[in-house]
Amino acid sequence: MRNLLVPAALAAAFTLSVPVLVSAQGAPQTIQLTKVDVVKVSTGYRASKVIGSSVVNDAGDTVGKVDEIIVGPDGKAPFVVLSVGGFLGIGDKLIALPYEQMRTDGKKFVLPGATKDSLKALPEFKYAS
């Protein structure tokens, strides 16, 4: 079961169901907002609780740790930044993957088919300055 509640919560933050008038320079513009099921959203995973969590593969081996969750520039697709390799934070490498590639199993975050070596082989992620 993939948990897509974090992306839904992010999308919900941008939308509510009442038109709002935005007045910057020029004529006022109307923005259409969408109503969300707040009960459903409340059962999702908070980014602050996901960050720092271990990520395991199908075999239960720890393959990384969540360093950050980033909303893509289009505002739609969230990405997860994982810290992989290294020992006690020394020599680790950051990689980025679409959040939807991970799934949840109870309170565990699972990256199906991942190995430490396959993740270390991915391009390194660097935060924009």
- SS3 call for 19: coil
Report the alpha-carbon distance of residue 114 to residue 80 in Å, rounded.
14
Give the burial class of 38: count Cβ atoms within 10 A of its Cβ; 0-12 exposed, 13-18 middle, 19 or more buried.
Answer: exposed
Tokens of 94: 């950051």
pLDDT digits (tens, 9 = 90+) for 11-40: 544 444 445 555 556 677 788 888 989 999
Asked if CATH classification 2.30.30.240 holds for the domain at 5-120, the reply, yes or no, is yes
Beta-carbon contacts of residue 121 (< 8 Å; ≥ 6 apart): none
Residue 61 binned pLDDT confidence (cut-offs 50, 70, 90): very high
What are the residue boundaries of the structural domains of the chain, listed by start?
A: 5-120
Task: Report yes or no: 83 and 64 within 8 Å, Cβ to Cβ.
Answer: yes
- pLDDT above 60 for 58: yes
pTM of the predicted structure, to 2 decimals: 0.69
